[in-house]
């Protein structure tokens, strides 16, 4: 069972229903199982919206919320129990299990949904649904509505309006409760431990995926079943590929390795990047660029407090990185012009961060109307500036080429300012080199 209590799941459903217009219905489908190759499926991961509202982790389920319904507002469809299928593929709660253990008021077999759902839609004015996310399910929703439309002459009342469910639900998910923050703190702690472990086990002439193994080991050992996203382990110039996940090359002494890896614990992710020297010691150029990224990151984190807006930390990273690249001679010209013309994008081409939560790139709007969103207590975000000098960048001196650095931490907006969840992963040059001196040997 999850660290989030049943009461909290119930509170979320209640809050959502209170914010829906009168006479409406919400429909939220679960994730589906996806085939990897013949008879083999990808590890199942429940849809975050569905899980947020139910705590139920099976495929082939649909959540229906019907505020004000006399026979119960919380309805689910799910797979029926089936001893034979369960023998082969694992336990199912079944409709009875949902009512017993998940607080569902009414649960039905998923096979009966076409017969039952039109009846639940009848008389409801609005349908809250995330249209456009699952083409197949969109069609089903329309087909259920059309059943009622086909009966108008017999007095049926079809819904007249579709409302985007994401708008309310994702705003709720953006603000983390005390219980959610507790889980995220734990996910961050485990992930930091994994980075510390990897720094100790890192050595030249092992494959990038062998370093990745140290992360997976620590995640699982600590109780996090899987990473929150595919880990990025890029040695040398591979560190300049933003979403590098092959992790198949040999690590070379003298190179840096960039590792972007975090675990998922009870559906909440950590998202941490550390960049460290394969042989435990930064060289002059690596150190110069590293310290610049760190300076930008610290300056950006200092911008996080209630009342500041979403883009302030990003603007700060741009300013510090531009100033630094000018000083080091990788950029030439006037600071203001370089910023205005976005010349820095040759080296720093992504944004400073994103919301973090159940999804690594979590939900929530970044702008309200035309204005950047103002930071509020309970929001969680990453700050992750980087500098990436392409190996074939002939405009800069050779000594800089092929260096890729990113430093990423997870931060909660608090009343006093912020809390960095990921402080336990060494980040200064001195702390990293010290951690790497306490070596462990890969057998
Ligand atoms: N791990 C993906 C990201 O940092 O955004
Ligand atoms: Mn990351
Ligand atoms: Mn990130």
Same domain, 140 and 286: no
Q: What is the pLDDT of residue 384?
A: 98
Please compute, for residue 168, the number of CA atoms within 13 A of its CA located in the half-sphere on the CB side. Answer: 17
Same domain, 207 and 275: yes
Same domain, 196 and 312: yes
Cα(422)–Cα(185) distance, rounded to whole angstroms? 8
Residue 432 in domain: yes
Is-catalytic flag, 314?
no
Residue 165 in domain: yes
**3-state SS, one letter per residue, for 312-380:** HHHHHHHHHHHHHHHHHCCCCCCHHHHHHCCHHHHCCCCCCCCECCCCCCCCCCCEECCEECECCCCCE
Q: Could you identify the residue written with the tokens 């603007």?
A: 315
Residue 20 in domain: yes
- Run means of pLDDT, 10 residues per run, the chain, 443 residues: 93 98 96 95 97 98 97 97 94 97 97 98 96 95 96 92 96 98 98 98 97 98 97 98 97 98 98 98 98 98 98 98 98 97 98 98 97 98 98 97 98 98 98 93 57
Closest ligand 1 atom, residue 361 Cα: 5
Residue 73 in domain: yes
Residue 443 in domain: no
Q: Which of 173, 198, 226 is the last residue of a domain?
A: 173
Q: What is the pLDDT of residue 164?
A: 96
Q: Which of 110, 145, 173 is the last residue of a domain?
A: 173
How many structural domains comprise the chain? Answer: 2
End-to-end Cα, the chain, rounded Å: 36
Q: What is the pLDDT of residue 440?
A: 76
Same domain, 330 and 360: yes
Closest ligand 1 atom, residue 273 Cα: 4
Pairing of strands 24-29, 126-129: parallel
Same domain, 253 and 389: yes
At 81 the three-state DSSP class reads coil
Cα(257)–Cα(278) distance, rounded to whole angstroms? 6
Is-catalytic flag, 361?
yes
Closest ligand 1 atom, residue 262 Cα: 1
Pocket test for ligand 1, best of 361, 388, 404, 409 (most atoms within 8 A of CB): 361
Closest ligand relative to 245 C-alpha = 1
Cα–Cα distance list, 291 to 189, 282, 383, 405, 406 (Å): 24, 11, 15, 10, 11
Ligand 1 surroundings by CB, under 6 angstroms: 229, 260, 271, 354, 360, 384, 408
With beta carbons less than 8 A apart as the criterion, state whether 25 and 127 touch: yes
Is-catalytic flag, 134?
no
Question: What residue owns the CA closest to ligand 1's atom 5?
Answer: 361
pTM score of the predicted model: 0.96
Same domain, 26 and 141: yes
Residue 186 in domain: yes
Same domain, 148 and 251: no
Same domain, 370 and 397: yes
Q: What is the pLDDT of residue 323?
A: 98
Q: Could you identify the residue written with the tokens 């299928």?
A: 85
Is-catalytic flag, 167?
no
3-state helix, strand, coil in the chain (%, to 5): 40, 20, 40
**Gap from CA of 409 to ligand 2 centroid (Å):** 8
Same domain, 182 and 118: no
Closest ligand 1 atom, residue 354 Cα: 5
**Gap from CA of 352 to ligand 3 centroid (Å):** 9
Question: What CATH number is associated with residue 120?
Answer: 3.40.350.10
Same domain, 273 and 353: yes
Question: What CATH number is associated with residue 369?
Answer: 3.90.230.10
Pocket test for ligand 1, best of 408, 409, 425 (most atoms within 8 A of CB): 408
Residue 104 in domain: yes
Pairing of strands 273-277, 268-269: unpaired
Same domain, 249 and 366: yes
Same domain, 302 and 352: yes
Closest CA to 56 of 114, 120, 9: 9
Cα(349)–Cα(387) distance, rounded to whole angstroms? 8
Which residue range is the domain that position 153 belongs to? 6-173
**Gap from CA of 410 to ligand 2 centroid (Å):** 10
Q: What is the pLDDT of residue 441?
A: 67
Q: Which of 173, 190, 212 is the last residue of a domain?
A: 173
Residue 60 in domain: yes
Helix (H) or strand (E) holding 407: none
């Amino acid at each position: 069972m999850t660290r989030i209590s049943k009461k909290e799941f119930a509170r979320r459903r209640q809050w959502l229903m209170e914010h829906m217009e009168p006479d409406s219905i919400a429909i939220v489908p679960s994730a589906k199982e996806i085939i990897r190759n013949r008879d083999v499926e990808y590890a199942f991961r429940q849809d975050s919206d569905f899980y947020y509202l139910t705590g139920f982790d099976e495929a082939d389920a649909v959540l229906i919320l019907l505020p004000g319904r006399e026979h119960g507002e919380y309805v689910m469809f799910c797979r029926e129990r089936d001893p034979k299928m369960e023998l082969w593929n694992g336990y199912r709660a079944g409709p009875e299990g949902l009512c017993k253990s998940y607080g569902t008021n009414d649960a039905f077999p998923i096979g009966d949904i076409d017969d039952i759902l039109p009846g639940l839609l009848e008389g409801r004015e609005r349908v809250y649904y995330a249209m456009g996310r699952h083409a197949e399910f969109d069609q089903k929703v329309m087909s259920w509505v059309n059943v009622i439309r086909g009966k108008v002459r017999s007095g049926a009342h079809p819904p007249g309006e579709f409302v985007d469910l994401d708008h309310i639900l994702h705003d709720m998910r953006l603000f983390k409760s005390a219980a959610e923050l507790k889980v995220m703190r734990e996910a961050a702690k485990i992930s930091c431990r994994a980075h510390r472990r990897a720094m100790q086990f890192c050595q030249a002439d092992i494959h990038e995926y062998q370093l990745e193994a140290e992360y997976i080991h620590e995640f699982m050992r600590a109780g996090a079943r899987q990473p929150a996203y595919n880990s990025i382990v890029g040695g040398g110039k591979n560190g300049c590929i933003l979403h590098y996940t092959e992790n198949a090359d040999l690590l070379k002494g003298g190179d840096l390795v960039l590792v972007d890896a975090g675990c998922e614990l009870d559906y909440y992710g950590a998202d941490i990047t550390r960049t460290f020297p394969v042989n435990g010691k930064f060289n002059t150029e690596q150190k110069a660029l590293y310290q610049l990224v760190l300076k930008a990151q610290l300056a950006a984190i200092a911008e996080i407090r209630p009342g500041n807006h979403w883009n302030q930390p990003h603007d700060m990273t741009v300013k510090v990185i531009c100033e630094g690249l000018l000083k080091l001679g990788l950029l030439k010209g006037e600071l203001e012009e370089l910023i205005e013309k976005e010349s820095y994008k040759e080296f720093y081409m992504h944004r400073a961060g994103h919301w973090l939560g159940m999804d690594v790139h979590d939900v929530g709007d970044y702008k309200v109307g035309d204005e950047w969103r103002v930071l509020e207590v309970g929001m969680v975000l990453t700050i992750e500036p980087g500098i990436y000098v392409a190996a074939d960048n002939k405009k800069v001196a050779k000594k800089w080429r092929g260096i890729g650095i990113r430093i990423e931490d997870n931060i909660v907006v608090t009343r006093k300012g912020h809390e960095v969840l990921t402080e336990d992963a060494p980040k200064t040059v001195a702390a990293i080199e010290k951690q790497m001196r306490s070596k462990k040997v890969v057998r």
